[in-house]
Amino acid sequence: MSAFIAMGGYGWYVWMAYGVTALVVAVEILMLRARRRRMLIEARLAEPEMPITTRATLDPGSLS
Amino acid sequence: MTPAAALPLDRAATGAVAPAFGWALARDLKLAFRSRAELGVQLLFYVIVVTLFPLATTPERTLLANLGPGVLWVAALLASLLSLPRLFAVDFADGTLEQMAGSPWSLPALVSGKIAAHWLTTGLPVAVLAPLLGLQYALEAPALWTLAAGLLLGTPILSLLGAIGAALTLGLRGGGGLLALLVLPLCVPVLIFGAGAVDAVRAGLGAGANFSLLAAGLLIALTGAPLACAAALRIALD
Amino acid sequence: MASTFFRYAAPAAFYPVARRLAPWFGAAAAVLAIAGLAVGLVVAPTDAQQGDAYRIIFIHVPAAWMSMFIYLVMAFWSALALGYNTRLSAMMAQALAPTGALMTFIALWTGAFWGRPTWGTYWAWDARMTSELILLFLYFGIIALRNAIDDPRRGDKACAVLTLVGAVNVPIIYFSVQWWNTLHQGSTISMTAAPKMASIMLTGLLLMSLAAWAYAIAVALARVASIIIERERGAVWISHLPEMRRLMPS
């Protein structure tokens, strides 16, 4: 196992390369999740109003 | 705010290229000449930037001669960038640009006229001035001629590519910096072949290949850039 | 047949497709990556000249390929967006740009860490790496332009023009950088001279390339789904989405 990490003496280089790659890929995926959540929330907030005819308490007498 | 310019549409048929080009060129030159101080400032910028490098590195002549072509070319690139944001901004602000786009005249032709005026007021003076500044870098006469010739071929390309960037970034925040980010990578080949020509001459080799490539690049830019620029302007104006 | 295909050109129709497909490509990417990493890190033998440092190519080469391939795909979608004035084509281009930039960064980063032990330097101005760096600038330019433009349709078309202008330039830039590089041979080393490849190494490379390709598709589909939501905000079909109910039941 330690031989695996040591990578024949080149451990620093190999794991810096693989490690940062894994890191930025993880960051991209996390940012995508966050973006999706944010867009769904904004879309929810931007939903069109309920149409007037479905309002239960429509009283013709109150209209002027 | 100056009122929008009136295009003399009676002068030529729809889509005619030469009158549109000529009108735009003459108008921009006239406007540029009215603010002569601005032109002087741009040239002064070039001189100062070129002078900064030896101060920041070394006055040692051999090293300077090696650096010189690159520095003189990069500075020319930066000087060209300096005046690009204004290429369309003023006309955009007073409505002339909309008039141009809406007119029956060919927009690429009008744009070419403006780009030609930009080159005449920025690139051409730099190409003329550069050999003098090349003396500061201990460059010899053959190298200086090659520098001037290369800049004469290359600076129009810089103006053409820069105009596309100026059209794309019209009216946007972050203007000048964004423009530089978009345009500079595209100019790398011009830089490589232009400065490379001087290096080739200094090494005793010919600059023929470099000049051929620059000339080819100029032809491609002359045909493609006004079209791309006009398309970008229409996108910005919509 | 064509009408079925063009049905999906509407963002509303493509959204469920993107949402359904993305996890599958993601799973494929994960499986391929595990297999590829197993080969690259464990199974493939140590190289005689470069030692274990050569194992970096199993990331570097696929990333470099994807960085260029994604740009070509972006150019394709940009051409469609300008030619047919379709929103979804532009959205696909918009979704690809960040991943393309990421691949380019990974190629540059891994290239540097491969170069240091192998040729003694993190950066050596060789043709491929220098072109890769300029490609990164092109990606950043496209992303910056998109961020600077508020109107989505203007952003679509402006970025499409920029992508296409860049696409025309990329071969010219690569040629000029290579030309420049061969002239200054003296201190140059070809940082991308891979070791002689045993077939198991090629297998590893293939697996990782497929993994990178599947990953890029998965991420692009996921991103375009978010972009569609963002751009189609207020449309009725969005309020009917199951994820909207789940998110904020009212």
Predicted ipTM?
A: 0.90
Report CA-CA distances (Å) from A27 to A22, A35, B92, B190. Answer: 9, 12, 41, 37
Burial class of C197 by CB neighbour count within 10 A (0 to 12, 13 to 18, 19+): middle
Both tokens of A17, joined, read: 């390369």
The HSE-up count of residue B221 (CA atoms within 13 Å, CB side) is: 26
SS3 assignment, position B36? helix
- List pLDDT tens digits, range C30-67: 999 999 999 998 888 888 788 888 899 999 999 999 99
Which chains does chain C touch, 3 or more C-beta pairs < 8 A?
A, B
Asked if B188 lies within 8 A of C134 by C-beta distance, the reply is: yes
Q: Distance from C181 to chain A by nearest Cα, in Å?
A: 25
* Portion 92-121 of B in contact with C at CB < 8 A: none
Mean pLDDT of C148-159: 95
Contacts of A46 in chain C (CB under 8 A): 233-234
8 Å CB contact between C215 and C29: yes
How many C-beta neighbours within 10 Å does residue C236 have? 10
* Portion 29-48 of A in contact with C at CB < 8 A: 29, 32, 35-37, 39-44, 46-48
DSSP state of A9: G
Residues with Cβ within 8 Å of B180's Cβ and at least 6 positions away in sequence, in order, are B81
Asked if C145 lies within 8 A of B169 by C-beta distance, the reply is: yes
Q: Which of C42, C53, C99 sits opposite A10 (nearest CB)?
A: C53
Mean pLDDT of A40-51: 75
Instruction: State the pLDDT confidence band at C196, using cuts at 50, 70 and 90.
Output: low
* Mean pLDDT across chain B: 91
Asked if C161 lies within 8 A of B236 by C-beta distance, the reply is: no
Tell me how far the alpha carbon of residue B9 is from its chain's centroid: 28
Contacts of A37 in chain C (CB under 8 A): 247
Q: Which of C141, C162, C176 sits opposite B193 (nearest CB)?
A: C176
Instruction: State the pLDDT confidence band at B3, using cuts at 50, 70 and 90.
Output: low
- At residue C165's C-alpha, the angle toward residues C164 and C166, to 5°, is 85
Domains of chain A by residue range: 2-48
Ranking B145-154, C157-166, C227-236 by mean pLDDT, the lowest is C227-236
Which chains does chain B touch, 3 or more C-beta pairs < 8 A?
C
Burial class of C196 by CB neighbour count within 10 A (0 to 12, 13 to 18, 19+): exposed
Chain C residues bordering chain B (beta-carbon distance below 8 Å)? 82, 134, 137-138, 140-141, 144-145, 148-149, 153-154, 157-158, 161-162, 164-166, 168-169, 172-173, 175-177, 179-180, 183
Q: Which of C157, C169, C180 sits opposite B235 (nearest CB)?
A: C157
How many C-beta neighbours within 10 Å does residue C2 have? 6
Helices and strands in chain B: count of H runs, count of E runs: 11, 0
- Please tell me which residue of chain C has the smallest CA distance to A49: C234
How many C-beta neighbours within 10 Å does residue B192 have? 24
- List pLDDT tens digits, range A48-60: 664 444 444 555 6
Please report the sign of the dihedral spanned by the C-alpha atoms of residue B21, residue B26, residue B31, residue B33: positive
pTM (2 decimals)? Answer: 0.90
Domains of chain B by residue range: 16-237
Residue C47: predicted pLDDT: 82
Enumerate the β-bridge partners of residue C47: C51
Residue C145: predicted pLDDT: 96
Residue C186: predicted pLDDT: 46
SS3 assignment, position C51? strand
Residues with Cβ within 8 Å of B1's Cβ and at least 6 positions away in sequence, in order, are B93, B94
A22–chain C Cβ distance below 8 A for any pair: no
Burial class of B43 by CB neighbour count within 10 A (0 to 12, 13 to 18, 19+): middle
Contacts of C60 in chain A (CB under 8 A): 17
- Please tell me which residue of chain A has the smallest CA distance to C121: A13
